Amino acid sequence: MRTTLLVITALVVASAPGQAQPLPKDPAERARIVSQIVQLNARQLTVFDRTGKVVRTVGVRGMYSDPALSPDGTRIAAIKADIDKEVDDVWIVDVAGGPAVQITANQSRDRSRSPVWSPDGKHVAYVALRTGFFGLYRKAADGSGTEELLYRSNGPMLLTDWTGDGRFLTFFSTNLAGGTLYALPVEASGERKAIELLRSEFQLQGPNLSPDNRFFAYVSNESGRNEVYVHAFDPSGGTGAGAAAGPWRISTDGGQGLISWRHDGRELYYLSADRSVIALPVNTTRMFEFGQPRPLFRASEATPMVPGMARITRDGERVVFAVPRSQRRQLTIFDRQGRVVGSAGEPGLYVQPGVSPDGTRIIAMRNDPRTSNQDISVIDIKTGKAIPITNDAPPDNAPIWSPDGRHVAYVSTRGRYAGIYRKAADGTGDEELLFRYTPGAGMVLTDWSRDGRFLAFHSGALLIVPLRPEENALDRKPIEWLREDYIAIQGRFSPDTRFLAYLSDQADGEKMQVYVRPFDAMSPEQPPPGSPVQVSMNGALGMIFWRLDGRELYFLNRDWEVMAVDIETSPVLKAGSPKVLFKLPGPLVGNPAQWKNVTPDGQRFIFAMAEVASTP
């Protein structure tokens, strides 16, 4: 009898790149923030059949991720987050509705990740970050007994598979500097030593070993986009050598992950760039041979699947996903009283809208459901027409407008380097590199001064990039304008470039507030002049924006209320009392610390409002 295809789906809200803010210590404030996080990110485990039709839901909504179905299909191993305790634990959830079993008991800020089942379903293995190191552990799936440390690493790692014969656990480690794939002999005598399968300057995910342990499949971005490859594997010496060892690229239009081999080695599965589950006929009897990919089903744009949070069981009939709830959003326009007065364009996978200097266009990040590329688009508010600014494999984010509205700038990571690029706002011409940052370091671009002389970004500090015409992109050096023990992010220049507003926890080390302090454009490399003036009173999420005349400043507080503050700059810097303009209808998707969604006159506020969740 044919086994039903099960897709265990965790409906989750994804957010834009940014820097996490600490939870407050005050019990009431902490409970409120935790409630908001859960409201946005609680997930429903859902079962789909082979065509993508919902069969059943499993349990109640919770902070689940990394779901993996047991070999007999009766249980789900998943990570469940406790936001208040700041821990992630491994849980076993009964598909039929029986009691859930907690496998790990992590302490505050310990994190478990990527559980996998042993072939007989008696154990689960997982990675846990504890006391500063990463460990690979094994424990009985019924929760009994003590966990066993199998392998220890000083660097991050994620498990991908436990081979069908039980001999190997496979895992990977990757960052901007590149990636490495490993296989760990599970029952090796003495100290276990991981076998390095592949090391690359490119980012890698995987590996997944074939049932005969002669080949491994993995994801690499060596072609400029994520694709699925297969390489030969020799347990005694890694990958072997020569053309017969591969690699063979088996995906044709991008591959995000979800790699799994059928237990007989005759079929291989992966998730394509357009969110289709692909089945590929393969043969590993002698040389590696493969046929044409065939899609099993594809999720709708409303429920895009998250790569790295998906599993297919060894019979090829059951698929496990951790899929965000609907990410489709409508760019919605509010007035100062909170009334909806319009919208821009059609709903899409938009996040982080920013309004042009003339108030007629919106720049936003958009995920393309056909390619899974994260690109930048400009949307005309009046006509709704969207113009693609970027259309490439590297993720592009943190878009901002040039002061004259003729260009847009954004951050894109190419290989080991994150850089700031500029391109015409009508989408024509080639992009121009304005600045390239330290290898392996990330950055969040936040502002371009109105006089065109400075860019602001944060990366562990508030940094300024002077745009001197005589310097080229590779010669430009960032200035650490504000680096302290406290968090300081989201620098925003005043219209006259005499002040810089930013978000910081400098007052108490836990609650973010908006501050303004003088900025000396003649000597930006010197320590910031003057003392900071606190603008917000009861915490802030972000959305810092100056009115064009510099007399009013806007931000979003922790209750999702849009706030306005009168600002005086002469004879001394002075901020009035914040006043509420309106309250948003619940938490929104994305990171408010990166929003610049106010028109220059302060009369309109544009938000990406999430659609109601739907299923494939």
CB 87 within 8 A of CB 107: yes
pLDDT of residue 331: 93
pLDDT of residue 6: 42
Write the single-letter amino acid at 477: K
Give the SS3 label for residue 167. Answer: coil
CB 365 within 8 A of CB 374: yes
How far is 588 from 15, CA to CA, in rounded Å?
Answer: 9
Q: Is residue 306 very low, low, confident or very high in pLDDT (cuts 50, 70, 90)?
A: low
Strand partners, 344: 331
Sheet hosting strand 204-209, strand order edge to edge: 204-209, 215-220, 227-232, 248-249
Q: Domain boundaries in the chain?
A: 329-610
Percent of the chain at pLDDT above 90? 54
Q: Which of 309, 333, 340 is nearest to 323 (CA)?
A: 309
Q: How far is CA 497 from CA 105, 184, 599, in A?
A: 51, 56, 18
Question: Is residue 240 scored above 60 in pLDDT?
Answer: no
E strands in 54-167 = 54-62, 64-69, 75-82, 87-94, 101-102, 111-117, 123-130, 133-140, 148-153, 158-162
Instruction: Please name the residues in contact with 519: beta carbons below 8 A apart, sequence gap of 6 or more.
Output: 481, 493, 494, 497, 498, 499, 500, 528, 529
Question: Is residue 305 scored above 80 in pLDDT?
Answer: no
Instruction: Please name the residues in contact with 274: beta carbons below 8 A apart, sequence gap of 6 or more.
Output: 253, 254, 298, 369, 370, 371, 372
How far is 94 from 112, CA to CA, in rounded Å?
Answer: 20
345-370: average pLDDT: 90
- Residue written as token pair 């079929």: 267
**Per-residue tokens: 35:** 């409630």
pLDDT of residue 128: 93
**Per-residue tokens: 369:** 């459901």
Q: Is residue 304 very low, low, confident or very high in pLDDT (cuts 50, 70, 90)?
A: low
CB 545 within 8 A of CB 553: yes
CATH, range 329-610 = 2.120.10.30
How far is 41 from 223, CA to CA, in rounded Å?
Answer: 33
Give the SS3 label for residue 241. Answer: coil
Q: Specify the pTM.
A: 0.71
| Half-sphere exposure (Cβ direction) of 22: Cα atoms closer than 13 Å | 16
Among 100-104, 136-140, 467-471, where is mean pLDDT lowest?
467-471
130-147 pLDDT tens trace: 877 899 999 999 999 999
The residue length of the chain stands at 616
Q: Which of 318, 349, 305 is nearest to 43 (CA)?
A: 305
242-286 pLDDT tens trace: 557 889 999 988 888 889 999 999 999 998 888 888 999 999 988
366-411 pLDDT tens trace: 888 777 778 999 999 999 999 999 988 788 889 999 999 999 999 9
